Amino acid sequence: MQRILVALGLMATLVLGLACERRGGGAASDTGPIKIGVYADLTGQTSSFGQSTKNGIQMAADEINKAGGINGRQIQLVVEDDQGLPAQAATVVTKLINQDKVHAVLGEVASSNSLAAAPKAQEAKIPMITPSSTNPKVTQVGDYIFRVCFIDPFQGEVMAKFAINTLKAKTAAVLTDVNSDYSRGLDQFFTEKFTKMGGRIVERQSYTQTDQDFSGQLTAIRSANPDVIYVPGYYGQVGVIAKQAKQLGIKAPLLGGDGWDAPQLFQLGGDALNGSYFSNHYSYEDPRPEVKTFVDAYRARYNVIPDAIAALAYDAMKVLADSIRRAGSTDGQKLRDAIAQTTNYPGVTGTISINAERNAVKPATVFELQSGKYVFKENIYPEGMTPPSTTASPTSSNANTAATNANSGNASTANTNAASTANTANTANR
């Protein structure tokens, strides 16, 4: 009898031991390096987006690793180039998940690429955070897909309000990148708000990212004589469109969204862009300490002023790291839950809380383009969000990330400008 008991006891110990080992070894997920997959356009039509994303994520990961990693584990990035093509984005994310066994995915910038790859992450239950894709459909793919930026129903409204309230526009034309989910979404959201506020859309034209000649579309728009022209596209075409519009004698200002944000915009459009306006995610001259620390470190490392994409990418990596720390694990489901619980994270691009739709709710900044620089016009806040006290809003110009840095003379003019528009910005909210 005693022997049997001893034998039973031994067996129990063995089984328990094995179970513990399994759990510890399931440590496949909770020990060793934390693998983060990054997919970005490093060589295609929107490669400025990919380079900034890679830089921002790399800097954040290095800072975290230098400080000892996350729960004692180091971050290991695996970066893939998707060439800015949706099909390629889906392919590389599948590879990151199946071959590299990443614990989470960061990317993409262009919404069409995020939309193509997100189902792969969702199916594998590997959390994905897009730093900068703003089309609402991206996070609707499923409960493992998140973003740290605002969404386009808000961004489209921002420009409609700015056009009507600040520029006093009554009519608009829209010129859309027809194959881009981002562009089509912004067209829809701008149009809805603009017409709801009493404006009229008098002409509608479209193009694709391989087009070089926009004179047909612009001639039709010129005939309609709109007060403003909304061009919710990417920098590569917008720069050329601005130039050709000028050549055709078009005087109406061009308006756009975050897709304009790249140093190449000015290289392509030059002074033809003067007097245009676009909405974006942050101002590098925002006096908040998070912004200053980030901008100084980024400039020291890359010798360039960080654009909004770099700032969002940095924030996405930091929010992911914070979530892994809180989860105490890289298990897909635990990590997903921790990301979903992100509340009041003090990001470079603002305070980040993830809402029930897995989006961040944040204000947008409107800039005017002048002589190769971004001049701050106003902050517009989402409904229900109270603007912070005066010290927390950007108060000066945001020079472009290109070599043409703001000279101090202009920056101070913009300072006064920003200060005097701060109130207008707040009253423009509804």
Binding pattern to ligand PHE, positions 34-63, x when CB under 6 A?
---------------x--------------
Spatial separation of the C-alpha atoms in residues 2 and 69, rounded to whole Å:
51
Between residues 258 and 368, which has the closer beta carbon with respect to ligand PHE? Answer: 258
What residues have CB less than 8 Å from 86, skipping those under 6 apart? 112, 113, 115, 116, 117
Rg (CA), the chain: 24
Site for ligand PHE in 207-266 (CB under 6 A): 258-259, 261
Spatial separation of the C-alpha atoms in residues 285 and 394, rounded to whole Å:
6
324 counts as binding ligand PHE under rule CB under 6 A? no
Measured in degrees and rounded to the nearest 5, phi and psi for residue 78 equal -120, 110
Between residues 179 and 404, which has the closer beta carbon with respect to ligand PHE? Answer: 179
65 counts as binding ligand PHE under rule CB under 6 A? no
Between residues 165 and 365, which has the closer beta carbon with respect to ligand PHE? Answer: 365
Q: Cα angle vertex 131, ends 334, 119, to 5°?
A: 60
Cβ atoms within 10 Å, residue 20? 10
379 counts as binding ligand PHE under rule CB under 6 A? no
Cβ atoms of residues 177 and 234 within 8 Å: yes
Binding pattern to ligand PHE, positions 289-318, x when CB under 6 A?
-------------------xx---------
Closest approach, Cβ 46 to ligand PHE, in A, equals 8
Closest approach, Cβ 66 to ligand PHE, in A, equals 27
Spatial separation of the C-alpha atoms in residues 139 and 358, rounded to whole Å:
6
Between residues 135 and 398, which has the closer beta carbon with respect to ligand PHE? Answer: 135
* Region from 7-15, 76-84, 129-137, 284-292 binding ligand PHE, contact rule CB under 6 A: 129-137
Would you list the DSSP string of 17-68?
Answer: HHHHHHHHHGGGTTSSPEEEEEEE-SSSTTHHHHHHHHHHHHHHHHHHHHTT
Cβ atoms within 10 Å, residue 366? 24
Binding pattern to ligand PHE, positions 89-128, x when CB under 6 A?
--------------------xxx-----------------
Spatial separation of the C-alpha atoms in residues 80 and 88, rounded to whole Å:
10
132 counts as binding ligand PHE under rule CB under 6 A? yes
Between residues 272 and 309, which has the closer beta carbon with respect to ligand PHE? Answer: 309
- With CB under 6 A, what is the number of residues at the site for ligand PHE? 14
135 counts as binding ligand PHE under rule CB under 6 A? yes
Residue in this structure with the two tokens 């007060």, named with its chain if needed: 227
Q: Which residues bind ligand PHE (CB under 6 A)?
A: 49, 109-111, 132-135, 182, 258-259, 261, 308-309
